[in-house]
Amino acid sequence: MHEISVKSGSRNELIDVTSGLQALVSNEKVKEGICVVYCPHTTAGVFVNENADPSVKSDILRQLEKIAPANAGYSHAEGNADSHIKGALVGNNQTLLVSDGRLQLGTWGGVFFAEFDGPRNRKLLVQLIEK
């Protein structure tokens, strides 16, 4: 298992981790297989979406804030219930195919770490399974 460190700079932030994951696949010389990415934090997540246009990230964050606004009278005592809800909506894992040594993402696809309770030092756990 491998670990990728992620440092967020704000409470809600989407951080492109595609290049770090691809570097790991390349360094481990995986030609064909699977790259499983797991986020062990309950107020964060990981997902695949477009990474070419930065407005996609702001659109996603804005809509998640509408779905689970901060300070909406939640029962959770720590004051970060919205972060838990956003993390649950985004999800905590991705399974990515590797072919010819490359992550198989769409033309504009990227892998994002989603921070909802930052700024923090976080990690993603990565398991590479070679065919």
If pLDDT is split at 50, 70 and 90, which confidence band does 77 have? confident
Within the chain, what is the greatest distance between any pair of CA atoms? 50
Range of the domain at 116: 2-130
Q: Which pLDDT value is given to residue 73?
A: 92
- Per the CB < 8 A criterion, the answer to whether 57 and 12 are in contact is no
Q: Structural domain tally of the chain?
A: 1
Q: Which pLDDT value is given to residue 89?
A: 98
Q: Residue 56 and residue 99: Cα distance in Å, rounded? A: 27
Instruction: Calculate what percentage of the chain has a pLDDT beyond 90.
Output: 97
- Per the CB < 8 A criterion, the answer to whether 6 and 15 are in contact is yes
Instruction: Calculate the alpha carbon distances from 66 to 19, 28, 62, 69 in Å.
Output: 30, 41, 6, 6
Q: Which pLDDT value is given to residue 71?
A: 87
Q: What is this structure's pTM?
A: 0.95
Q: What is the CATH number of the domain that holds 99?
A: 2.60.120.460
Phi then psi for 116, rounded to 5 degrees? -125, 5
Q: Is the pLDDT of residue 115 over 90?
A: yes
Q: Residue 48 and residue 72: Cα distance in Å, rounded? A: 28
If pLDDT is split at 50, 70 and 90, which confidence band does 123 have? very high
Q: pLDDT tens digits, residue range 35-57?
A: 999 999 999 999 999 999 999 99
Peptide bond into 69 cis (omega under 30): no
